Amino acid sequence: MVELVAHSTRPSYNSILIISKHTTKVMEKQIKKSRKAKAYYTLQNAAGDDVSIDLNNYKVACVKTGKRKSFYHKYLAGLIERKYGNNIDRFRTEYVSREAAPSQNEKRVTHLVQRIQKLSVQLSNLKGELAEAESGVEHFPAA
């Protein structure tokens, strides 16, 4: 009886694991080296000139607290465009973080105080008109 033994030219399973581990380590090192991606956006400065700025890993300091804060570049570009008129210098001088911004309750209180003041002025004007109507004296002639 003849015994047939098959010899494979392919590497064994263990050598494949060693090779794949080695290549992933090499790939990881290559990826880490290229992580410093650039995200350039064209914004305007205070003079109205176009300025190209890398917003990736960009940090800005809050005007009130002084804490430095970083943003994701797409969110930051949209924020500058929406709230600061696409002006990077205005953003740098006016940015207030959520931490330092007035709370929702404080905003509501100031809004209600303004409404009360406005309505009290209207009420005093109406009381003046009522007094004129009751006295029968016209201070403003009808046109």
pLDDT at 114: 95
8 Å CB contact between 40 and 54: yes
Question: Pick from 72, 68, 63: which is nearest to 95 by CA?
Answer: 63
Name 88's Cβ contacts closer than 8 Å, sequence gap at least 6. Answer: 43, 44, 45, 51, 53, 80
pLDDT at 13: 52
Strand pairing category for 50-54 and 40-44: antiparallel
Q: Considering the entire predicted model, what is its pTM?
A: 0.48
- Return per-residue pLDDT of the chain as tens, 143 residues: 444 444 445 555 555 445 545 544 544 444 455 567 788 888 888 888 888 888 888 888 888 888 898 888 899 999 999 999 889 899 989 888 877 777 788 888 899 999 999 999 999 999 998 988 888 766 665 55
Distances from the Cα of 12 to the Cα of 6, 7, 8, 9, 25, angstroms: 13, 11, 9, 9, 20
Dihedrals φ, ψ of 94, to 5°? -115, -5
The CA distance from 9 to 139, in Å, is: 112
